[in-house]
Amino acid sequence: MRTVTVSEKYAGKRIDRVLMDIFPHAPASAIYKALRKKDIKANGVRIKDNYIVNAGDKLDIFISDNILNGVPLDEGTVINKGFTVVYEDKNILIVNKEQGIPVHPDREQTNGTLIEFVQDYLAQKGEYSPGSPQSFPPALCHRLDRNTGGLVIIAKNNESLKILLAKIKNKEIRKYYQCLVKGKMEKEHAELRAFLTKDEKKSKVFISGKKTKDSQEIITKYRVLSYENDIDVSRLEIELVTGRTHQIRAHMAYIGHPVIGDGKYGTNAINRPLRAKIQALWAYKIRFDFKKDAGILNYLNGKQFEVKPEFKLLLDKN
């Protein structure tokens, strides 16, 4: 435990911001966890993360000194939350994100995100110092939906970030997904084309066969990996030619094969019998396919990283 008295300069500020300023090397997730568990007291009273501090407040902080000081852990003892490391070097980190975790803060959740957990991981290793303006904050190179699990690339320095963003934009980094969908596909493989319109108010997209003023073209490639006749479910590999919001889920539902467990574009009539409570969709493979010079990342050209999807479906036999 650590006890501090709040100075005048912090008066009127939120407790989480105050603690992160006083303890710049402490992982943000540890501070928020302590606040959620009410392990922080102000003047003897347990407080929440929206508490506004006053000058002279006595804060009792029930977090170990090692965590507050950001002491790097020994090799092999770093504890990850929300992801596992698939590949790592001095320039990039590739992680396998768990389902249910947003990649970055959004209007529903401001902490407990993938990027926060990655920052904590690198801080524990001594590779990132949150309190230092000279320390590059690890950056996401692309996104995944909260309930989609799988591979995410994170840049460890600004040069790598610029290269990776350009390569993704130029389609020189190919991303593949696996999903379970209802029904047997009409073809073993196909390239699907349609038009997608976003509805920001409903946080949903709509698919049409005709182009409209506000729509964007979407192209989705798939091939069938297997078919489970007894539960009428197909396992697909999907490659996104275009990468629009909710593209896979919405496009598959549009052609009559919704992703199993998808509560937004699927139906309970399909999901309930399969006891599927979360979408069976996983970003499972990434291939670096550079056509032009990639600077300090040239060594990644031709490399491929793959993980096994962890579908939370009781009847998934694979």
Token code pair at residue 65: 């000194």
Q: Residues 145, 230, 289, 316: which is the catalytic one?
A: 145
Question: Given the DSSP bridges, would you call strands 149-155 and 139-140 parallel, antiparallel or unpaired?
Answer: antiparallel
List C-alpha distances in Å: 58 to 19, 26, 103, 281.
Answer: 12, 19, 35, 48
**C-alpha neighbours within 13 Å on the C-beta side of residue 95:** 29
Distance CA 196, CA 211 (A): 8
Amino acid at 56: G
Exposed/middle/buried for residue 142 (C-beta within 10 Å: 0-12, 13-18, 19+) = middle
* 216 token code pair: 């964007």
DSSP-H helix ranges across 73-155? 114-124
Backbone Cα Rg of the chain: 23
State the sign of the Cα–Cα–Cα–Cα dihedral 81, 87, 90, 93: negative
- The letter for the amino acid at 41 is K
Active site (annotated) includes residue 65: no
Long-range contacts of 249-257 (CB under 8 A, 24+ apart): 249/279, 249/281, 250/196, 250/205, 250/206, 250/207, 251/192, 251/194, 251/196, 251/207, 251/218, 251/220, 252/179, 252/181, 252/220, 253/207, 254/194, 254/207, 255/192, 256/183, 257/181, 257/182, 257/183, 257/185
Catalytic positions are: 145
